[in-house]
């Protein structure tokens, strides 16, 4: 099984990396494919240029042979739509089971996504805990069959209204966000130990996220 991990990665941090590594071990996933978005329609706030986010992701996953970087979204000029990316990745990995990895915050936003219903049919979702949101919040999603929820285990299956299932993974919570990192940079505070040193150096050398 291959996990697709999409995100703005603006910048990538240890919250992303540790989550991906725990999920890989838990399922297990053969590979986690990191897919930095070029032009995400719903996340344009303080967005570093696509080539910088791609390069930071490359630096962050260097050395982990189970992690792969895809330029499928970053190379395109058009808005990144997950539904299209999943279709393309299924063609790139024929014969493999593909699943789409996302945090609870992102899953709760899914009703705003382009063709979200199609995504739910085309691919298995792996939803992971994303602090500070309590996992019970998943009941707020319009896609969930609320009569069939049992989530006591580290890894559980939840039935969707469309009859399919998604996996819910309780990973170790790391309350790190790109927003908080960008904020710290703007305020001149340290970002050490929130992200790999190689990414920190890249941010400093390229003067990213500073007020201009």
Q: Give the contact letters, 22-61, x = binds to ligand ATP (CB under 6 A), - = no.
A: ----------------------------------------
Q: Which of 74, 143, 174, 203 binds ligand ATP (CB under 6 A)?
A: 174
The set of residues, in sequence order, having a beta carbon less than 8 Å from that of 185 and lying 6+ positions away, is: 191, 203, 208, 209, 210
CB of 3 within 8 A of CB of 20?
yes
Pick between residue 96 and residue 105 the one whose CB is nearest to ligand ATP. 105
Judging by beta carbons within 10 Å of its beta carbon (0-12, 13-18, 19+), is residue 78 exposed, middle or buried? exposed
Figure out which of the listed residues 128, 138, 194, 195 binds ligand ATP, where binding follows CB under 6 A: 128
The residues that bridge with 7 in the sheet, in sequence order, are 36
Site for ligand ATP in 99-118 (CB under 6 A): 102-103, 105-106
Q: Counting contacts by CB under 6 A, is residue 70 touching ligand ATP?
A: no
| Position among 130, 185, 194, 196 found at the interface with ligand ATP (CB under 6 A) | 130
Asked whether the bond before 132 is cis by omega within 30 degrees of 0, the reply is yes
- Count CB atoms within 10 A of the CB of residue 51: 13
Stretch that binds ligand ATP, among 21-29, 63-71, 135-143, 169-177 (CB under 6 A): 169-177
The minimum distance between CB 147 and ligand ATP, in angstroms, equals: 26
Cβ proximity of 195 and 16 under 8 Å: no
Q: Looking at 19, 89, 185, 194, which residue binds ligand ATP (CB under 6 A)?
A: 19
Burial of 56 (0-12, 13-18, 19+ CB in 10 A): buried
Compute φ and ψ for 74, nearest 5 degrees. Answer: -70, -25
CB of 95 to ligand ATP, least distance (A): 26
Note the residues at the interface with ligand ATP (CB under 6 A). Answer: 7-10, 15-16, 19, 102-103, 105-106, 128, 130, 174, 176-179
């Amino acid at each position: 099984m291959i996990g697709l991990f999409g995100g703005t990665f603006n910048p990538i941090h240890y919250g992303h990396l540790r989550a991906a590594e725990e999920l890989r071990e838990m399922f297990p996933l053969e590979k986690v494919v990191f897919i930095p978005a070029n032009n995400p329609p719903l996340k344009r706030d303080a967005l570093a240029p696509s080539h910088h986010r791609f390069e930071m992701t490359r630096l962050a996953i260097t050395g982990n042979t189970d992690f792969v970087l895809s330029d499928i979204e970053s190379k395109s000029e058009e808005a990144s739509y997950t539904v299209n990316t999943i279709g393309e990745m299924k063609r790139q990995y024929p014969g493999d089971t593909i699943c789409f990895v996302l945090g609870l915050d992102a899953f709760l936003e899914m009703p705003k996504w382009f063709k979200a219903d199609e995504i739910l049919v085309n691919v298995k979702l792996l939803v992971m805990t994303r602090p500070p949101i309590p996992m019970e919040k998943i009941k707020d999603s319009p896609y969930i069959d609320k009569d069939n929820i049992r989530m006591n285990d580290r890894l559980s299956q939840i039935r969707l209204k469309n009859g399919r299932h998604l996996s819910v993974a309780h990973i170790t919570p790391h309350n790190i966000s790109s927003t908080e990192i960008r904020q710290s940079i703007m305020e001149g505070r340290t970002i050490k130990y929130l992200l790999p040193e190689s990414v920190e150096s890249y941010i400093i050398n390229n003067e990213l996220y500073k007020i201009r």
